[in-house]
Each structure stands twice: as C-alpha cells, then as structure tokens.
Chain A
Amino acid sequence: MLSILRNNVLTLFFIIVLAISFTTDAYSQYLINLMLVYVVVAQGLNLILGFAGMFAFAHGAFMAIGAYVSALLMNTLGVPYLIALPMAGLAAAFVGCVIGIPAIRVSGLYLAMVTIGVSEIVQWVLRHWKPVTGGTDGMLVASPTFFGVEFSDDFQSFYVIFVVCALMTVLAQFVIRSRLGRAFVAIREGEIAAQSSGINVARTKVFAFAISAFYAGIGGSLFSLTQHYINPENFNLYQTIMQFCMVIVGGSASLIGPFIGAVILTWLPELLRNAQAFQEIGFGLLLIVFVIFMPRGLAGLLISRNILPRERFSRAARLRKKPEASTSVVVERP
C-alpha cells in the first residue's frame, strides 16, 4: 500500500488538488491555479537547468512569448484557445531554438548572461512594440471559450489549467525516460563522454532549450488566464528568479521537485502575509535555510531518505519488477 503511494505521489497530488478545488473559495482557487501554472513553467526550467545542467535565465521571457502569442491570437484573430495554447508553446519553443544556438558554444555563467540578455531584449520589444503588445500598458486577455461556454472565473479556468498541467507532467515523464532525457543528463555530466556515446551535444542543447521554452510558453499562456491582463512587468528577471527558486527548493533533476517548489513558493508568501514588514526578509531567510539543510531540494532529501523513489531514466527499468538493490549513497571523492 505504502509503496503504491510512494510510486504514485504525483497522481495523488493531482487527486488532492482536484478534491480541494470543490470546496474552496476564489482566493485559494486562484492560488491553486497559479501554483499549477508555476508547476508547468518550473518543469520546463527543471528540464534544462536540472536535467541538462544549463544555466538558462530566460524563462520569464519565454513565458512572455507564450502569454502574448496566445493573447494576441485570441484577441485579434479570434483563434480558439485550444489552438492558441499550443501555438503559444510552439512560438516560445521557436525562440528557444534560436537562443539554443549560442548555447551550443557558450556555457556556464556566460550562458546565464546571454539568456539574461535575451530576456532584456524581449522585455524591450514588449515595451516598445506598442501597436502589437500594447507597450507598458499591457493588454487584456480574453477568456477562453470551449463549446460555447466561457471559462472566465477561477473555478472554471482551473479545469483548463489542471488538465494542461497534468498533460505536461505526463509529457515531462516521457521526455525524462526517453533517450532525449538521458541525453540531457549525459551532457550535464560531461559533454565529452556523451559525444563518444553518439550523443549529438549541439542538437541536444537546442532541444533542451526548445522543450524547456515550450513548457514556459504554455505556462505563460496559462498564466495569462489566471490574470486576465498581462503586461511586460509580469515577465521580468524577478519572475525568472522565482522559477529558479522553485526548481532548486523543490529539488532539481527530479520530476517531483517542481511540484514541491511551486507549492512552497506559491503559498509561502501568502502565509507570510501576516508578517507584513518581515515578509521579504522571512522569504529570503527561508530560502537560505532551505538550501543549507536541503541543498538538493526537498525532493532530493526525500529521495535520499528513501521516502520517494529515485528518478528513473528508462521505462524498461521500471517494468522489470526487481527489488531495488541499493539506493544512491551519499558520495564524496576524497
């Protein structure tokens, strides 16, 4: 029984979220929606930062692209959301590919700088391309309509966000357990060895950017549903840093990490509301305490304590029902 739970924590998470949503008020519902949106974006960031080990700091910009593309498609062309949403993801993925090209050569902090630069450029375009983006005034986002029903309030948009988030989670699991996901890990651990196993490092990096940006684009589009109104400030560097915190606090390179991170970072500021003056400080201190005591994130801690199963990178290995011989032992090369 316990082991079933242990192996299906995410399913359980979705069931609980669904259950809560029947009994809650608009405030909590809104936060749940926001949390699920962050889950999607953080998953994307986790793929590139956690799994592929690349310092990409442009997720705010990717979100912006997703949000603006879907909003523009719906507002100006009247495209249904079912089409606008994937288009948002694809548009972001396209930009991701373009950024992925320098990433082939540039790594580490330099990559961080390049991606920060890209987000600044995206910000600039959003602020200055008035006729299209509305500039700093931002723009209203129409509510999506499915089969003639408008999904406008928090309770209704929840269903959209919930379904998309679940689908994206399944997709993430697929990616991780595919050879692409393994290639991410391989280039993180050492490009040289990866290459001589036949992994095309350049292509893998571009893919990492594309998929990760796809998630952020979808996330951005969903984000616009929770806000009904978007402006460039929603997607600045601060947003990117928040996503980064979610991945690390939750536990990078694990599927569950972004969930934990998004839950904590969405609700923590709300819980700190009562401590108004100390909200910011409390938040900062908590981050520090978190990384000191669980530098691999909460998920990493739970995995090393054997409470959660370790991440699998192959499907077959899971099918073969073998007792787990050993789990990861903490290791330091002396």
Chain B
Amino acid sequence: MEFAFLLSVGVSNGCLYGLVGLGLVLVYNAQGIPNFAHGEFFMATAFAAYVANVLLGIPYALSVLIAIAFGGALGVVVEFLAIRPISTNRALGRASTEVAVVLSTVGLMITIKGLARIPWGDSVRKLPGAFSTDTITIGSLIISTQRLLIIVVAVALTVCLSIFFARTSLGKKMRATSQNTTGAKLIGINTGHIYSATWGLAAICGGIAGILAAPIIFLHPDMGTRMLLKGFAAACLGGFGSVSGVFVGGLLMGIVEIFFGRYLSTSMMDIFAPIIIIVVLLFRPQGLFGTRGAARV
C-alpha cells in the first residue's frame, strides 16, 4: 500500500518534470540551446489562467484555453523579438549564435520574472485545481485528482508529440530546420514560421505544465525556476532530442527521488537528481535514449 502510494506520487511528479522537459526539448531541437526562459512560460501561463479564472471569473475550462493560447502567443512573440534577430544574423557562426541565444533566454528569464513581480511579487496566490474533489480513493489508495490529471496529460502529450515528430510533415520540417537552416530554406521551408511554431509549441507545453502544477505548488513569480532545473535534468537523463526519452527521464527522476527520500534520506533528496544524472551521463553521455550525433569527416 505504501509502496503503491509512493509510486503514484513519484509517477505524477515525474510526469510533471517530463512535461516541463518536453518544452525544453522542443526548443533544443530547433535552436540547439537550453531555454532558460522556459520556466517563465510555465509561470506566465499559470498566471494567465489565474487572471482569467480567479480575477475575471471566466469558467475554468475556458480560462485554461485562454491561458494556453496566451502562453503559445508569448512563445511566438518572444521568439520573434528576442531570438530571431540573433538566429538570423548571418555574420555569426553556429557556435556564437548558440551562445548568444542562450544569453538572450537568460535575459528573457530575468525580464519576464521581473514583469511578473510588479503585480504579483508581494505574495503567493492560488489557482484552483481542475476538479472540485481533491482526492479519489481507489481501493486503499488515495490519489489526488490533480496528480491523476497530470499523469494523463503528460502521457497524452508525449504520445502526440512523438507521433507529431516522427510522422507529420511539420514535425519533419522542424527537425530539418534545426539541423540545417540553409538546407531547410533550400527545400522551400519558411524557417521563420518553423521557429515561431516551435517556440509556440514549446511555450504551450510549458504552459500546460504550469497550469497543471499551479494548484499544487502555488503561484508566484519564481515558481518556474526550480521546475526549469528539474525539466532540464529530465531532458538530459532521457536524452535531448527524444520526446519519449524526456518523459521516461522525468518519470525516472520522480520515482527515484521519492523512494530515496522515503527509504534512505530526505536530507539528500535535493542532490539525488544531480547524482543520478552525473552517473548516467558518465556511462551514456548522450542520455538514456539519445543518439550519438552523426558527425564525421
């Protein structure tokens, strides 16, 4: 019973990490960089849902849709204003472009967080969960409905995105653009649209995670920071570039974390994740499900 309970919590935590990691992987696939502003999509979308639902009194489901649309738009706008001018700068080599884009995302992180602090920096707010009943009981197992929702959404999103990248032509175009922008232009891909789509999608993923997590972790401008690190760790563990890999990476982290905490030491809970990641990467430098790059001379 305790085992099952721990497992359920670990899985839902892990799904959350995976969900955050998904958005990171999307941007990584497009730009080859970690998006430090991803935690801000998480935060901003959750606040958007808060404004719509709590402040404006719009029904929950509609608020969520509005917030997701807002998150996607934020991703698109942010890419257009702060990333595109750098990534289309012809004078840069690939390496300097990447480093510059990373810094730009750091700037975005600070800016968006700062903006959120003006109205909401003073205290912590609460977004209601999706269901009115907090927990349901299955046999002797008590599971929070919100956590159940997280699991369902994470699995669904992972499956959809995997299919999206492997099957749909937009997914393929995204992969192509990320691997060689010039090559993509040469076969008629509007790379600008692809970047917008990628960032929009990434922000939506982050935003969904934010809305789902907000009832559990409360709303405040810094809520995305820790999640960013967890998502980043999940993505590394699973192997950047593989959608289902991130999901498994997140799951693994969530489960290991909670069992270590319960049976070994809670005081070391904060550093289990780094230790696992270092150990795994030592043996599989490309993550559990990543593939080695096909670079050769």
Q: Do chains A and B touch in the complex (CB under 8 A)?
A: yes
- Which of A's residues lie within 8 Å of B, judged by CB? 49, 53, 102, 105-107, 109-110, 112-114, 116-118, 120-121, 124, 128, 188, 192-193, 237, 241, 244-245, 248-249, 252, 277-281, 283-288, 290-292, 295-296, 300, 330-334
**Residue B202 CB within 8 A of the other chain:** no
Known contacts A117-B275, A281-B115; A106 and B285 CB within 8 A of each other:
yes
Q: Across the interface, do A110 and B85 meet the contact criterion of CB distance under 8 Å? A: no
Nearest opposing residue in chain B for A285, CB measure: B111
**Residue B233 CB within 8 A of the other chain:** yes
Interface SS majority for chain A: helix
Nearest opposing residue in chain B for A57, CB measure: B34
- Chain B's nearest CB lies how many Å from the CB of A14? 27
**Cβ contacts A to B, 16 pairs, < 8 Å:** A109-B240, A114-B278, A114-B281, A117-B274, A117-B275, A118-B278, A120-B270, A121-B271, A193-B297, A248-B103, A280-B113, A284-B113, A287-B106, A291-B104, A295-B92, A296-B92
Interface residue stretch chosen among B6-14, B94-102, B137-145, B250-258: B94-102
Nearest opposing residue in chain A for B28, CB measure: A109
Q: Which of B91, B104, B240 contacts A330 (CB 8 A)?
A: B91
Q: Across the interface, do B97 and A295 meet the contact criterion of CB distance under 8 Å? A: yes
- Chain B's nearest CB lies how many Å from the CB of A242? 10
Nearest opposing residue in chain A for B237, CB measure: A113
Interface SS majority for chain B: helix
- Which of B's residues lie within 8 Å of A, judged by CB? 28, 33-34, 36, 82, 85-86, 89-93, 95-97, 99-104, 106-115, 117-118, 182, 229, 232-233, 236, 240, 267-268, 270-271, 273-275, 277-278, 281-282, 285-287, 295-297
Nearest opposing residue in chain B for A294, CB measure: B100
Contacts A118-B274, A248-B99, A280-B111 known; list 14 others, CB within 8 Å: A102-B281, A102-B282, A113-B236, A117-B275, A121-B271, A121-B275, A248-B100, A281-B114, A284-B108, A286-B107, A287-B110, A288-B104, A288-B111, A291-B101
Q: Across the interface, do B111 and A112 meet the contact criterion of CB distance under 8 Å? A: no
* Contact residues in B for A249 (Cβ distance below 8 Å): 103
Q: Across the interface, do B107 and A291 meet the contact criterion of CB distance under 8 Å? A: yes
Q: Across the interface, do A113 and B100 meet the contact criterion of CB distance under 8 Å? A: no
Cα A192 to Cα B297 in complex, Å, equals 8
Cα A249 to Cα B91 in complex, Å, equals 17
Nearest opposing residue in chain B for A333, CB measure: B182
* Contact residues in B for A281 (Cβ distance below 8 Å): 110-111, 114-115
- Chain B's nearest CB lies how many Å from the CB of A218? 24
Known contacts A248-B100, A331-B91; A116 and B111 CB within 8 A of each other:
no
Q: Which of A110, A252, A280, A288 contacts B82 (CB 8 A)?
A: A288
Q: Across the interface, do B99 and A106 meet the contact criterion of CB distance under 8 Å? A: no
Nearest opposing residue in chain B for A249, CB measure: B103
Q: Across the interface, do B104 and A109 meet the contact criterion of CB distance under 8 Å? A: no
Nearest opposing residue in chain A for B113, CB measure: A280
- Chain A's nearest CB lies how many Å from the CB of B186? 10
Known contacts A281-B114, A284-B111, A284-B114; A116 and B100 CB within 8 A of each other:
no
Q: Which of B108, B112, B278, B285 contacts A107 (CB 8 A)?
A: B285
Known contacts A105-B285, A292-B85; A113 and B277 CB within 8 A of each other:
yes
Q: Across the interface, do B109 and A109 meet the contact criterion of CB distance under 8 Å? A: no
Cα A334 to Cα B185 in complex, Å, equals 11
* Contact residues in B for A280 (Cβ distance below 8 Å): 110-111, 113-114, 117
Q: Across the interface, do A244 and B281 meet the contact criterion of CB distance under 8 Å? A: no
* Contact residues in A for B99 (Cβ distance below 8 Å): 49, 248, 252
- Chain A's nearest CB lies how many Å from the CB of B30? 14
Nearest opposing residue in chain A for B221, CB measure: A280
Cα A80 to Cα B36 in complex, Å, equals 42
* Contact residues in B for A330 (Cβ distance below 8 Å): 90-91
Cα A268 to Cα B274 in complex, Å, equals 33
Cα A331 to Cα B89 in complex, Å, equals 11
Q: Which of B102, B107, B229, B233 contacts A284 (CB 8 A)?
A: B107
Q: Which among A49, A121, A249 has the greatest number of chain B C-beta atoms within 10 A? A: A121
Nearest opposing residue in chain A for B85, CB measure: A292
- Chain B's nearest CB lies how many Å from the CB of A52? 12
* Contact residues in A for B232 (Cβ distance below 8 Å): 113, 116
* Contact residues in B for A333 (Cβ distance below 8 Å): 182
- Chain B's nearest CB lies how many Å from the CB of A64? 15
* Contact residues in B for A237 (Cβ distance below 8 Å): 229
Cα A218 to Cα B97 in complex, Å, equals 31
* Contact residues in B for A295 (Cβ distance below 8 Å): 86, 89, 92, 96-97, 100
Q: Across the interface, do A117 and B278 meet the contact criterion of CB distance under 8 Å? A: yes
- Chain A's nearest CB lies how many Å from the CB of B154? 21
Known contacts A193-B297, A248-B100, A252-B99; A110 and B108 CB within 8 A of each other:
no
Q: Across the interface, do B109 and A117 meet the contact criterion of CB distance under 8 Å? A: no
- Chain B's nearest CB lies how many Å from the CB of A273? 15
Q: Across the interface, do B285 and A110 meet the contact criterion of CB distance under 8 Å? A: yes
Q: Across the interface, do B100 and A291 meet the contact criterion of CB distance under 8 Å? A: yes
- Chain B's nearest CB lies how many Å from the CB of A297? 9
Cα A331 to Cα B33 in complex, Å, equals 22
Q: Which of A113, A118, A291 contacts B233 (CB 8 A)?
A: A113
Cα A292 to Cα B103 in complex, Å, equals 10
- Chain A's nearest CB lies how many Å from the CB of B64? 28
Cα A127 to Cα B31 in complex, Å, equals 36
Q: Across the interface, do A332 and B270 meet the contact criterion of CB distance under 8 Å? A: no
